[in-house]
């Protein structure tokens, strides 16, 4: 190829002249130090991916580990609301500083940068993907033991960017009880496998509601199929989260850190084992 610059790192062509393996990993900020990156994904929206991210981050922080959340759901950011964060992120010539929660969790979200949090982010895929990469490269993540990345739903542009640009150590797939979930989970699992990203396991949200009078578990959305899905995918089921009005109120009031739960203990153990 006459126009070849022989710089394979900047070329996407799969030609016979390629001399080095291609890597799309973005460089972290020079002042960042992140030991472990866990992606929280779903094959569709509305299954509680952000909630799982929040609960895992709170549990990790309460165990004494320095924890961070990157809100990569650029067009649907919800993380700051759950933690009651209202201040804006600041920066210096070294980079952007994440905002800290009460427990000391470092958070970066587009809503921490927008002048008005109700302003919609009407951007095309490449711009959104570029923003996620900047959240990794421009934000100063100091001495983080575990970072959780709240991914946008689906298998499109931005999840692809995250898988290629960030050093993901593993992902957790979030699902809901409906039978349709088997197909949706399969899509997310297959994408991760194609991208050679390790899958830690599955978490089911909105599994049931517990009667406050008799304690009976009522499966509002019908019988759960998550165990069959996990078995078919040869993945562990790491937790089932019920519908709890108190949990919904904690998120709405920005008090997710005050909520106590043990449904995700198995997920935390699996993450710590990586």
CATH number at residue 176: 3.40.50.300
Whether pLDDT at 76 is above 80: yes
- pLDDT confidence of 233, banded at 50, 70, 90? confident
- pLDDT confidence of 13, banded at 50, 70, 90? low
Strands 90-92 and 95-97: antiparallel
Mean pLDDT of the region 90-106: 96
Mean pLDDT of the region 57-69: 98
Cα–Cα dist 132/130, whole Å: 5
Q: Which string of DSSP letters, residue by residue, matches 188-251? A: HHHHHHHTT--EEEEEEES--EE-TTT--EE-TTSS--HHHHHHHHT--EEEEEPP-HHHHHHH
Could you give the angle at the alpha carbon of 234 between the alpha carbons of 228 and 236, nearest 5°? Answer: 80
Q: In what helix (H) or strand (E) does residue 106 lie, and over which residues does it extend?
A: strand 106-108
Burial of 100 (0-12, 13-18, 19+ CB in 10 A): middle
Q: Let me know if residue 221 belongs to a domain.
A: yes
Q: Let me know if residue 90 belongs to a domain.
A: yes
Whether pLDDT at 21 is above 80: no
Q: Let me know if residue 79 belongs to a domain.
A: yes
Q: Let me know if residue 163 belongs to a domain.
A: yes
Q: Give the residue from 73, 72, 41, 79 showing the smallest Cα distance to 205.
A: 41
- pLDDT confidence of 10, banded at 50, 70, 90? very low
* Residue span of the structural domain in which 117 resides: 30-272
- pLDDT confidence of 184, banded at 50, 70, 90? confident
Q: Give the residue from 144, 221, 170, 135 showing the smallest Cα distance to 41.
A: 170
Q: Let me know if residue 165 belongs to a domain.
A: yes
How many structural domains does the chain have? 1
- pLDDT confidence of 1, banded at 50, 70, 90? very low
Q: Let me know if residue 145 belongs to a domain.
A: yes
Q: Let me know if residue 137 belongs to a domain.
A: yes
- pLDDT confidence of 193, banded at 50, 70, 90? confident
Q: What is the pLDDT of residue 270?
A: 97
* Phi and psi, residue 37, nearest 5°: -125, 120
* Phi and psi, residue 129, nearest 5°: -60, -40
Whether pLDDT at 7 is above 60: no
Tell whether pTM > 0.85.
Answer: yes
**With left for phi above 0 and alpha for psi between -120 and 50, is residue 56 left, alpha or beta?**
alpha
What percentage of the chain carries pLDDT values higher than 70? 91
Q: Which of 40-54, 60-74, 88-102, 131-145 is least confident?
A: 40-54
Q: Let me know if residue 195 belongs to a domain.
A: yes
Q: What is the pLDDT of residue 152?
A: 85
Beta partners for 63?
Answer: none
């Amino acid at each position: 190829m006459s126009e070849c610059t022989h710089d394979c790192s900047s070329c996407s062509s799969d030609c016979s002249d390629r001399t080095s393996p291609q890597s799309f990993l973005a460089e972290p900020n020079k002042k960042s130090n992140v030991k472990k990156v866990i992606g929280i994904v779903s094959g569709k929206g509305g299954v509680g991916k952000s909630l799982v991210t929040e609960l895992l981050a709170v549990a990790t922080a309460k165990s004494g580990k320095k924890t961070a959340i990157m809100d990569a759901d650029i067009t649907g950011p919800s993380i700051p609301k759950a933690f009651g964060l209202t201040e804006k992120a600041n920066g210096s010539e070294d980079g952007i500083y994440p905002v800290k929660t009460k427990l000391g969790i470092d958070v970066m979200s587009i809503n921490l940068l927008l002048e008005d949090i109700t302003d919609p982010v009407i951007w095309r895929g490449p711009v959104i993907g570029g923003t996620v990469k900047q959240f990794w490269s421009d934000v100063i993540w100091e001495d983080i033991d575990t970072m959780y990345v709240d991914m946008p739903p689906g298998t499109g542009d931005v999840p692809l960017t995250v898988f290629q640009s960030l050093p993901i150590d593993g992902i957790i797939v979030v699902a809901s009880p409906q039978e349709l979930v088997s197909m949706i989970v399969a899509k997310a699992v297959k994408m991760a496998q194609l991208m050679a990203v390790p899958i830690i396991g599955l978490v089911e949200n909105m599994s049931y509601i517990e009667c406050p009078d008799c304690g009976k578990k009522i499966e509002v959305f019908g019988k759960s199929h998550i165990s069959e899905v996990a078995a078919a995918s040869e993945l562990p089921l790491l937790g089932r989260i019920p519908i709890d009005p108190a949990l919904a109120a904690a998120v709405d009031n920005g008090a997710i850190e005050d909520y106590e739960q043990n449904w995700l203990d198995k997920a935390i153990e699996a993450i710590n084992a990586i």
